[in-house]
Chains A and B, each alone.
Chain A
Amino acid sequence: MIEILSSGALNSVQDRGRRGLLSSGVSRSGAMDILALDAANALLGNDRDAAAIEVAAFPFRMRFDVATTVAVTGALAEAQLADRRLPPWWATEVHAGDDLTIAPPTAGARVYVAVGGGIDVPLLLGARATELKSGYGGHEGRGLKRGDRLPLGRRPPGGLPEGGIGAPPPPGRTEADGPLRVLPAAEWAEFSEEARERFVSVGWGVTAEADRQGCRLDGPELMRERRRELLSHGIVPGTVQVPPSGQPIVQLAEANTCGGYPKIATVIEADLWRLGQAMPGDALRFAVVGRDEALAALRETAQWLDGLRKAASLYRVS
């Protein structure tokens, strides 16, 4: 078991989310920065579907009842395990009774804390992810609070070397102020040339209306040349909608599964984590790419994770 000593309601149990239930209106949910979650599980030798804690409210403190392993990835934040300061994107052994404290990030919004064997809350609709918006899944369908005790899965065999192991920077992490890559979406051509030009040339401010469901952006109005009501249609995380106000909203992990607003573009899957790490006041830029580049970026991420998983397994002591 682990025990939560200090938390905010935005901290929740998350895994890779629910698949195959969009047609029942069940959002994907899951980690906002899936790459960071995947990396944490890879470092520990966990199943890729293992659940971790997504920390978005700080400081966060928890205690381990048992000796196990822990990995901390995602936003750059001071992580203190017992009397040790952990380097970023690090995995290490923990002793029973150790406390882990995560301070507010210096860069990024969400830290991932994965534990050997994963957080073993019940599977619901195929996943352990918390759906905060609808109040189901994860730990009692809600964010974590002080006194919550979470069961752990069976940790994989072998231990981590003394001092722990770290992950190299994933693709794109070091040039985090580059543009978010997008594919044009269904209504792209209905926006005026000026609107399309603005979309890719200005910096978009992340507003305070940014959560697991979506992120409203602030910038010049994007007008369509043809105004018509659309019939409701399926949407995915990453969809950039433009409501009649002309201010874009990027749909994220807990996005509604269908929407009715025009879609100018979709952020490619490989870059979605950046929206999970965006803070109000940050400026975002967009760049249009083609299918090939989007796919190449996804492959690059998958290969990086494969490499990390293999490297971590070499360090595991049996």
Chain B
Amino acid sequence: MADEFILSDAGTGAMLLDVAKGSAFDEGRQARLLALAESLSDAHGVEDVVPGMNNLMVTFDPLAVDAGEIERRLLEGWHRATPIEDSGRSHDIAVVYGGPDLQEFAAGLGLSADDVVNLHSAGAYRVAAVGAMPGFPYLSGLDPRLATPRRALPRQGVPKGAVIVGGGQAGIMPITAPSGWHILGHTDFTLFDPHRAFPATLRPGDRVRFTIAGVER
């Protein structure tokens, strides 16, 4: 059922609409969510509308607007939402593949490091959402052969520029920070600049390709 969803409280002032139903990421549902996100951004009492991967979190001032009202807007909005026109920009991002996880990651999948590099750089990715860290892009379009669970314990310092994958998703580290994802390589591409009005370089709907700038062994 395309319209199934789970709605849950995320504390007093936030609500999460999850339309994934535990299944794989779906581009069509994401496009509808982005339309819903846009329609909610000016709603009374709403502070933040945060698209995730097949989900949407809305934060609001619970003293200014009733949680039930947000709930109603989310549900009605979801049923009405139609995908917005495809207007994303395109970005080519040069990657030097290698790093602490590449060999082990490949071995865990029964692949060679070269297979991983080729599969990762062949993908056509879309920015599904931006978040976690400042300007971090959640990229859909990862080859399912590269899908693996996240690490059991997050690593404390994954470096800025690390090109990473986790679950069925791909991403790039905009800053050095903890992450439970696997590191496949490194890029110099700038993802975030707090001195710009729109601090994040990539936005939901944008297209990304990774090019091979080198492979380190």
Q: What is the bound-complex CA distance between A20 and B60, given in angstroms? A: 10
Q: Are A232 and B132 in contact (CB under 8 A)?
A: yes
A124 and B131: CB pair below 8 A?
no
Interface window among A96-104, A260-268, A308-316: A260-268
**Which stretch, B97-105, B167-175, B182-190, touches the partner chain A?**
B167-175
One of A35-43, A79-87, A167-175, A233-241 at the interface: A233-241
Q: Is the CB of B53 within 8 A of A231?
A: yes
Contact residues, A183-209 vs B (CB, 8 A): 183-186, 188
Q: What B residues does A6 contact at CB under 8 A?
A: none
Question: Residue on B with the closest CB to A237?
Answer: B11
A277 — which chain B residues lie within 8 A by C-beta? none
Q: Which residues of B contact A184 (CB under 8 A)?
A: 8-9
A232 adjacent to B52 (CB under 8 Å): yes
A133 touches B175 (CB 8 A): yes
What residues on B are CB-neighbors of A263 within 8 Å?
10
The tally of residues in A whose CB lies under 8 Å from a CB in B reads 54
A219–chain B nearest beta-carbon distance, Å: 16
A residues 265-318 touching B (CB-CB < 8 Å): 266-270, 291, 294-295, 298-299, 302
B194 touching A233 by the CB < 8 A rule? no
Which range holds the interface residue count of chain B? 35 or more
Query: Can you list, as one digit per residue, whether each of A123-146 has a CB less than 8 Å from chain B (1) or not (0)?
Result: 011000001011111000000000
Q: Provided the pairs A232-B169, A233-B52, A236-B11 are in contact, do residues A257 and B195 lie with their beta carbons within 8 angstroms?
A: no
**CB atoms of B10 and A239 under 8 A apart:** yes
Q: Which of B11, B53, B194, B198 contacts A267 (CB 8 A)?
A: B11
CB proximity of B34 to chain A, nearest CB, Å: 11
Contacting residues, chain B, for A269 (C-beta < 8 A): 11-13, 62
Interface string of A219-261 (1 = CB under 8 A from B): 0000000001101111110110001110000000000111111
* Contact (Cβ within 8 A) B12 A23: no
Does A21 belong to the interface (CB within 8 Å)? Answer: yes
Min distance, Cβ A153 to any Cβ of chain B, angstroms: 21
Nearest Cβ on chain B to A209's Cβ, whole angstroms? 9
* Cα A146 to Cα B48 with chains together (Å): 37
Min C-beta distance of B30 to chain A, whole Å: 10
Chain A residues with CB under 8 Å of B54's CB are 231
How many angstroms between the C-alpha atoms of A213 and B133 in the bound complex? 11
Chain B residues within an 8 Å CB radius of A20:
47-48
Report chain A residues within 8 Å CB of B192: 24-25, 134
Q: Are B53 and A232 in contact (CB under 8 A)?
A: yes
Q: Which chain B residues lie closer than 8 Å to A257 at the CB level?
A: 50, 131-133
Q: Does B51 contact A (CB under 8 A)?
A: yes
**Cβ of A22 < 8 Å from any Cβ of B?**
yes
Taken together as a complex, chains A and B put the C-alpha atoms of A20 and B192 apart, in Å, by 16
Known: A185-B10, A256-B132. A229 touches B180 (CB 8 A): no
Known: A24-B135, A134-B133. A229 touches B48 (CB 8 A): no
Q: Is the CB of B175 within 8 A of A186?
A: no
Q: Judge whether A238 and B152 touch: CB under 8 Å.
A: no
Judge whether B50 and A22 touch: CB under 8 Å: yes
Closest residue on chain B to residue A182 by CB atoms: B11
- Candidate in B132, B133, B198 with the most chain A CB atoms within 10 angstroms: B132
* Closest CB in chain B relative to A245 CB, distance in Å: 6
B6 on the interface (CB 8 Å rule)?
Answer: yes
Among listed B17-25, B79-87, B115-123, B209-217, interface-contacting one: B17-25
Q: Check A22–B16 contact: CB distance below 8 A.
A: no
Residues A256 and B133 in contact in the complex (CB < 8 Å), given A125-B199, A134-B175: yes
Judged by a CB distance under 8 angstroms, whether B166 is at the interface is: yes
Closest to B20 in A: A231
| Contact residue among B10, B14, B138, B198 (Cβ-Cβ distance under 8 Å from A24) | B198
Could you say which of B11, B49, B175 contacts A266, with CB atoms under 8 Å apart?
Answer: B11
CA distance A184 to B48 in the complex (A): 21
B91 within 8 A of A: no
Q: Which residues of A contact B136 (CB under 8 A)?
A: 25, 258
* Chain A residues within 8 Å of B195, by CB: 124
Please list 8 pairs of residues, one from A and one from B, whose beta carbons are closer than 8 Å in the complex, sorted by A's number.
Answer: A26-B134, A124-B195, A131-B134, A137-B194, A229-B167, A232-B138, A236-B13, A260-B166
User: Which residues of A approach B to under 8 Å, CB–CB?
Assistant: 19-27, 124-125, 131, 133-137, 183-186, 188, 213, 228-229, 231-236, 238-239, 243-245, 256-261, 263, 266-270, 291, 294-295, 298-299, 302
Closest 8 CB pairs of A and B: A234-B57, A234-B50, A231-B53, A266-B11, A233-B52, A258-B131, A186-B8, A258-B132
Given A229-B167, A258-B52, 15 more A-B residue pairs with CB atoms under 8 Å apart are A21-B48, A25-B131, A26-B134, A133-B177, A184-B8, A185-B10, A186-B16, A231-B169, A232-B167, A234-B56, A234-B59, A257-B133, A258-B129, A298-B12, A298-B63
